[in-house]
């Protein structure tokens, strides 16, 4: 194992998800590898509401098409829902239908069924499953709030969600998913259920997609990937 690590570091060879998951399965053997920084998992952090949360006109309940017709290029900000019940991995795991690692392939913005907001819908490939019935290789659709939509009359509407960092095509993520009948999956706990997973030798730290000030889930941000995935697996076991 040490020889494999040396070769990978020397040549800068990309480390695939298969290698990450194999290393994770070795459990205690990872303690001997100095490249993995030890870090204690966050526990029992207290929610603190953002002091500089962006506001929006929540009184305007007209469909976006009408708002865009008036403003030509309408821009609005969607506020985050109440996320206080999602303060650690156990909370998010317990309320998720599936927990997977998946790669984003492409995305498209869609107007919501009621016409009052926009979502970005990602086509993704499952790489590994921790919880639920999804299997490696399976294609899934995952919806995130916000995005830009254009109307036939040349007007447009953009909904911003500065509290929720979006995914990028070609990147790999850990997702806590909630199922919706005949609709794409959504992220459990909003941005609290989404983490970018590094897959190369130059970066070993995960990234939280929550941009909310004081969010307790951001304490997992920049946690070493193997230690983080071990915590993910343990949370799934604890909440069965």
Could you report the per-residue pLDDT of 119-177, keeping only the tens digit for each?
Answer: 999 999 999 999 999 999 999 999 999 999 999 999 999 999 999 999 999 999 999 99
Q: Which of 9, 20, 42, 14 is nearest to 130 (CA)?
A: 20
Domain ranges for the chain: 2-238
Question: CA 62 to CA 203: how far, in whole Å?
Answer: 45
Is residue 237 predicted with pLDDT exceeding 50? yes
Q: What is the pLDDT of residue 57?
A: 57
Region 105-109 average pLDDT: 97
Percent of residues, the chain, with pLDDT higher than 90: 66
Q: Which of 22-26, 155-159, 184-188, 215-219 has the lowest mean pLDDT?
A: 22-26
Q: Which of 239, 127, 124 is nearest to 184 (CA)?
A: 124
Distance of CA 51 to the CA centre of its chain: 23
Is residue 13 predicted with pLDDT exceeding 50? no
Better-predicted residue by pLDDT, 38 or 220: 220
Q: What is the DSSP letter of 209?
A: -
Q: Which of 169, 133, 124, 128 is nearest to 19 (CA)?
A: 128
Long-range CB contacts for residues 220-226, cutoff 8 Å, separation at least 24: 220/41, 220/42, 220/89, 220/195, 223/39, 223/41, 224/36, 224/37, 224/38, 224/39, 225/20, 225/197, 225/198, 226/20, 226/23, 226/24, 226/30, 226/36
Q: What is the pLDDT of residue 20?
A: 55
State the pairing for strand pair 118-131/98-111: antiparallel
Is residue 4 predicted with pLDDT exceeding 60? no
Give 89-99 pLDDT, tens digit per residue. 999 999 999 99
Q: 2-238 in CATH: which number?
A: 2.40.50.120
């Amino acid at each position: 194992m040490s020889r494999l690590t040396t070769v990978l570091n020397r040549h800068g060879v990309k480390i695939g998800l298969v290698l990450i998951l194999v290393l994770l399965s070795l459990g205690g053997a990872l303690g001997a590898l100095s490249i993995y920084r030890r870090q204690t998992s966050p526990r029992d952090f207290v929610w603190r509401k953002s002091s500089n949360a962006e506001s929006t006109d929540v009184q305007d309940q007209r469909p976006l098409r009408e708002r865009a017709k008036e403003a030509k290029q309408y821009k609005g900000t969607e506020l985050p829902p109440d996320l206080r019940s999602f303060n650690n991995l156990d909370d998010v795991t317990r309320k998720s239908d599936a927990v997977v690692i998946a790669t984003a392939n492409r995305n498209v913005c869609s107007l919501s069924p009621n016409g009052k907001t926009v979502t970005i819908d990602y086509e993704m490939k499952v790489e590994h499953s921790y919880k639920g019935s999804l299997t490696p290789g399976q294609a899934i659709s995952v919806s995130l709030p916000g995005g830009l939509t254009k109307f036939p009359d040349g007007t447009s509407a953009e909904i911003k969600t500065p509290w929720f960092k979006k995914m990028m095509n070609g990147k790999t993520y850990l997702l806590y998913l909630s199922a919706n009948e005949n609709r794409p999956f959504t992220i459990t706990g909003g941005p609290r259920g989404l983490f970018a997973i590094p897959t190369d030798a130059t970066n070993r730290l995960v990234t939280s997609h929550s941009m909310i000030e004081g969010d307790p889930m951001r304490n997992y941000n920049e946690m070493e990937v193997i230690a983080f995935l071990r915590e993910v697996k343990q949370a799934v076991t604890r909440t069965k």
